[in-house]
Amino acid sequence: MKETIKKILNSQREFFKTGKTLDISFRKEQLAKLRDAIKRHENEMIAALAQDLGRSEAEAYFCDIGSVVAEINETLRGINKWSKPELHFSGFLCFPSLITRVYKKPYGCVLIISPFNFPFMLSLGVLAAAIAGGNTALIRPSSKSPACSSLLQKIIAETYDASYVSVITGGHDVADLCLEQRFDKIFYTGSPRVAKHVMECAAKNLTPVAFELGGENGNWAIVRKDADIKDAVRKISFFKVLNSGQICINVNQVAVAEEIAGEFIEELRKKFVSYPENPLENADYAHLIDRNAYEKCVRDCERYRDRIVCGGIGDENNLRFMPTVIYPVAEDEEIVQRELFSPILPVITYKDGEIEKILETIESRERGLALYVFTNDGAWAEKTMKKMNFGGGCINEVCLHIMVKGVPFNGTGHSGTGAYHGEWGFREFTYPCTVLKGSRRFNLSLREHPYTEKKLRMIRFFEK
C-alpha cells in the first residue's frame, strides 16, 4: 500500500509540473465534470448513504448531494474573479518599478482526509475547492462508511485520471501511510485528537494544514428567558435529530434560563417523543455509524438514567438510538465537557440575570465550532456573538450559517484552522505570491551606497 500511495503521489507531482492545472479553463472543465458525475451517480449516492448511515433520501440530498452541487456552481461562477491577480502600486521607493502583482498560486499536491458523517460533502466539497485552486488531490475517505467510500472511489476513477485526482480507501493505517509522504497541503476533517497527530506528521515536512474539527467540548445553545420557547425547541430538536446528532456543528448541550426551564423541558420532551415518529423503526431516522457509537450512547444513558426526561433507549440491531434529553445537568459534569456526536442532549440551567457566568464557563473551555443563542434581546445577542470565540453560529436559528453563500465555514483553536466554502475554499487551497515588475530605465540610486544626507532626506520623505 505504501508503494501504491507513493506511486500516485509521484504521478500527481509530475502532472502538476506540466502546468495544466494553472489554466482556469481547465479547472472549470474539471469542476463541471465533477458536478456531472455527482448528478449521474445521485441514486447510487442516496443508496450508499442509506446503507452506511440509514439516511433518508431527503437528508441524503439536502446534506450531502445538493450541497456539493451548489458549492461547485458557486465556484464556477466566481473562479474567474477569484483567480485574477491583484494589481498594486509599488510605491515611490520602488520607482521606476511601479507595478506589483499578487498571484493566487496552487500549493501543488494536496491530501484530503474526510470523515464518515457527511462522506460526500466533506470529501467532494473540499475537492471542489482544491480543484478550483489548481491542485491535484488524493482523498482518503473514512473506513467507517464503506459503501460511500467505495462509491466515491468509483466516481473519481470514472471522472479523473489518477495522476490528477485519486481515492485510496482503508483505515487509520492507510491514513498514516499517506501522512508519511510529503504533500504540499493537508485538509483534515474529524476530531481534535486525530488532528494533533495529523499536525505532528505534517510538521516533519512543514506542510501547511487546514482542520475542520468538532471541538473538544462541543457546541452550546443558550436560551434566554425572553426567547420564543416553541421556536427554539423546534429548531434545536430538528437539528439534534438530523443524522442522529452526528454533525460537527450540532448542539452538544443547551443552557436554558431557569425561569423558563420547566416550560422548555416540557416542549422539548413533547417534540422528542413525537419527532421523528417511532424513531427506532423509522427508516427516515438515521442510525449511528457503528456499534462503538451506539454503546457510547448506552453508557451515557446508564450513567444518567435517573435524569432522563425522554428517550434513553435504542435498538442495537439497527443501531438507532432515541433522541434523549438529560435534565438537570450541572455545568461542571463530565457529559458537558466533551463532544457527544449523538442524539443525546444534556440541559443545564442558569439564572438569566447571571448569564455572564455561563458565558465565562463556555469561554474557559476549548473553542467550539458553533454557538447558538435564542433571545429577543438583539443588542445582547450581537454583543455576545462579537465577544465570544467560536467558528460560526446563529441568533435564533441553528446550523443555517453553513448554507449561506459567500461566507466562510471554519473553526478556531480546537475546532479547527483555515476556512472554506466558495471563495474562502479557493483561498484555502492557494497561496499569495507577490511579484514586482522591474524597470531598466530611470532607476534611482537611493537604495545604493554611498548613503548621503540628501538620500536619507528623500527616503524619509517617500516613506512618510
Measured from the Cβ of residue 78, the count of other Cβ atoms closer than 10 Å reads: 16
Q: Which residue in the list 74, 212, 339, 428 is annotated as catalytic?
A: 212
C-alpha separations of 189 from 226, 410, 432 in Å: 36, 11, 24
Active site includes 310? Answer: no
Write the DSSP assignment of 106-119 as a string of letters. Answer: E-SEEEEE--SSST
The per-residue DSSP string of 124-166 comes to: HHHHHHHHHTT-EEEEE--TTSHHHHHHHHHHHHHHS-TTTEE
- For helices 121-132 and 24-40, the axis angle rounded to 10 degrees is 160
Q: Distance between CA 301 and CA 318 in Å, rounded?
A: 18
Tally the C-alpha atoms within 13 A of residue 449's C-alpha that lie toward its C-beta: 0
Give bridge partners of residue 89 from the DSSP assignment. 99
Name the grid cell of 180. 508519511
**Catalytic residue list contains 212:** yes
Distance of CA 36 to the CA centre of its chain: 24
CB 82, CB 109: distance < 8 Å:
no
Which run of H or E residues covers position 409?
strand 409-410
Active site residues: 212, 248
